[in-house]
Structure 1
Amino acid sequence: MLVSVIIPTLNEEAFILEAIHAARQDSCPDELEIIIVDGGSHDETLRLIPSDMRVISSTPGRATQMNLGAAQARGDILVFCHADSRLPQGWRAAVIEALRKPGVSGGTFQLLILPESGILKFRNRINFPANWRMMYGDQVQFMARTTFEQIGGFPELPIMEDLEMSRALAKIGHLVRIPLRVRTSSRRFAENRPRSQWLLSVQCVILYLYFGVSAEEIKKIYTRGARRAP
């Protein structure tokens, strides 16, 4: 069974090779398709990508890039992986097995944010159940192609597209969280104090999910908060 891994990029020279290497592990070339969808990188990202890798140019915007990659993917299963997230060993077999279970519409992995310190150690020890209907993009989201097409792909929002995907998948089936850990970068926390950044992220999710604040306004709040965080 062909599995397509779609990786959106924008100036990801520090992470892209590790993301590709992790995705390729445990898979034969005829079992895996990796598609890089670049949103206009001006660093070394494109030069670092192996020549045998498929690269698609796109306008910037994670949802737009992932939808474009999915439209050109050939796999029966679609896996959406952020450029600074690394899939765990054994990921492909685990994804296929998860999607074979009756009623499963999609899923994700447990998350490990590295390097960890302070509040991140606490965050890494929290494994929210998938039935909370919250699957974040940095955890890697996966689903069958037919399911992706059924729900119409990612809504093209400036932020929170991953939560909207979770909502859509939860409406038509069960969500699963594979007990393998995706490793993701703590870079967004490195720019500010980890606690401030984590609380800002939680605040934005609560405002969006429970108070109906628009994705456009959430993007402004997140950007302003990240700049102010000490």
Structure 2
Amino acid sequence: MFAFLSLTFAIYLLPGMFGAPIKLLSGIAPPTTYSEDKFLFNHGGLDNGLVKDEITAKYREHMHESGDGSVMVFHDLEIAKAYAKERNLPIMLDFTGYACQNCRKMETTVWADERIKSTLQTRLVIASLYVDDHEPLPESEHRYSEAIGGNVKEVGNIWAELQITRYKSFQQPLYAIIDHDGNDLVQSVGYTPDINVFKQFLETGIENFNKNKKK
């Protein structure tokens, strides 16, 4: 029996060797952007809703696939803001982590739902900010941060500091929607597996952004 179960599980995992999403492990496995495999399953093959024009071409190298591979995100906040300004769209801050199980659940279930996906693809610009991004910062940018209780030495430290100082929280995921000046457009939310609740969060932020544009 054990041998049979092991064989069954191995067969289930086999597509994952080639980049296919394995939803049973979505809360354990790293995000899809962590994979080095760029040519099979959800790596450019799905419709990501991107407008194929000069603006997209200019920023495409900074975009990363997330969720089921059909949602594009930025990992740099300033670049995300610049793109959002050119598109005249609000920005969703996605405070996340490579080791965050609930973040993966949100990306593979809520984000991938058709009621949510199209909004993330076309009506928002997403900045996925990994608080555990260990990319080192130049030594000239190192400094002490009271918020994180230590030195800012890595990219992730910047996003952790921003989340703590701005939103008084260090729980991931945390989602916020802001305008081009960094003003919040809706109350931030954390892990929200209820698709209707998350959809309302998105719609409120977008609606407030559009209202402010008309002023």
Q: TM-score, normalised by structure 2?
A: 0.27
- More strand per residue: 1 or 2? 1
Q: TM-score, normalised by structure 1?
A: 0.26
- Which protein shows a greater Rg? 2
Relative contact order (C-alpha < 8 Å, sep 6+): which is higher?
1
